[in-house]
Structure 1
Amino acid sequence: MSVFVTGASGWIGSAVVDQLLAGGYEVTGFARSDASAADLEAKGVHVRRGDLDDLDSIRAGAESAEAVIHLANKHDWSNPAASSAAERAAVQTIGDALVGTGHRFLLASGVAALTQGKPAAETDASPFHGPQSPRGGSENLAFEFVERGVHAVSLRFAPTVHGARDHGFIASIASIARTKGVSGYPGDGSNRWAAVHRSDAARLVVLGLEKAVAGARLHAVAEEGIPTREIAIAIGRAFDLPVTSVEPDDVRDHFGWIGTFFAMDLVATSAVTQQLFEWTPTGPTLVEDIGAGAYSVPAPVS
């Protein structure tokens, strides 16, 4: 099977590409830079150049493959509206390209805002609809194509997909701790973050490609929720820093833009996913990764 992967050189995407290649798939990776293209070519991946604003290239990539895995996102936290608009446009373009083909279309999503006082579950529908919503309502937009002959599947990732040289949320929290000389947590630190190791997330993506029914929501979650105080303690231990509470009113000033997310209770279950796909996470826990030095060296941004 030929698979077109956006975000193929990214943190999750590069691990997914490795899994696909190991499984004998023919992979075309979407690359926006010369360095990313070179890395993909070195693995034996076909390269299609472009970025999320290059809808013609995205359309051509989708039309030329038997499946699409859409993992790219601008992640521009200074302009989330632009990121959401680009995401929606990309999903619309891919969906339009696949209408009537029955081809598989897996897209990245998340568990944020699904908790509502309980762990987010696969049965919880996304509340986000329309262009102005987070991620441009891309999950629900993709599912609209199911009735038009597109095998759409949502990949909901935990807020932290961790591992050595991760450059996501936890890397930012660790960097802030090193800069400020103290490892902080919001309030009493009882709010929690779900987590999954990168290797486990990549395995699940390929299982979803092979086994998920149209309209399925997969939860790439290994730990339902780690209290932010435990995360801060692990970071403090890793960098020999004092650990302290940050008052709720000071969270934004202390952590910057990421403080809004670090103060959320982002818990999720993957019980249905694990049962249906015989997926058992085997990678290190988040605290184990922090303790093993996963965040000791600043990671490159692809």
Structure 2
Amino acid sequence: MDRVWFKLRQTHYSPSPVENILAGDGDDSQAPLCLGHCIADLKHLDFPINAGAVVAFPQRMAVFSSHIIDFKWERKRSFATSLALATNAPVAAALGLATVKASVSIAFKRSVSQYEEFSRLDTYIVQPTRRYVEQCLERDEVKNYIGHKGNWSFFMITGLRVARAGKRLNTTTSNAFEINAGPNADILNAATGDVTSDTTVAHEDDINEGQVSDFVWAIRLAKIHKGILMTDWSIDPYTRRATFSAENNQHVDVGAVVENEGLESFQVVEDDDLGEAIVLDEDQWTMTEG
């Protein structure tokens, strides 16, 4: 699921220090969720089955980092919410459809109450090799989870999207653009994005130290599974785009795939500019901000 991200229900999962994330040395002692953690299913995103037993990444499994989105927020949250609804498929939302078109930044706004206190989203991704997955399957924690099942599956965390605390913005009336960009543009397909009205930065005041903390907002997953009739384990092939484009380039419904994995009451937000999708709880998308 290379371009599908799953938002965590909580905002208190602090990330490891950046140098630890990039090192990929298997040390998960400083954060509850790390690259290489394995989870049983989409309902248990924050319960790794191999906590404390992450296999260190080999040299050819480098972690790529990207500063993907800079935020420029409206000062009035009620206006931000109404803007998001007005410009991003309100009819689809009203009909209760599983997918709406919006931006990653709007999804962040609607799922984090104190969104104005965060300045950007940083992304860290790794592409597991087949040899690495084989090493993970040999660890006792994973072997005990699989047991003697003929049909089994689990997900590996292959990406972290970290919300970074930054500056509190004071604004005047003007126009501004949210910039979606990063050093690994070829990997993340970053592009300029949403237009925000009646907002510009007059000056910035540092947020008091300790007021807000960085947290892991969403994770990317790879599904590893084996069926009764399969001779070996496999990684699902629909990993090209957020819309799960199949090998024949036909559109595959993200919502249907996620629902088939047992997740209920969710909303898929597709960002066409980034070619990504965010899966989050439906109540986090439909909630009204004051």
TM-score normalised by the chain length of structure 2? 0.27
User: More strand by proportion, 1 or 2?
Assistant: 2
User: More helix by proportion, 1 or 2?
Assistant: 1
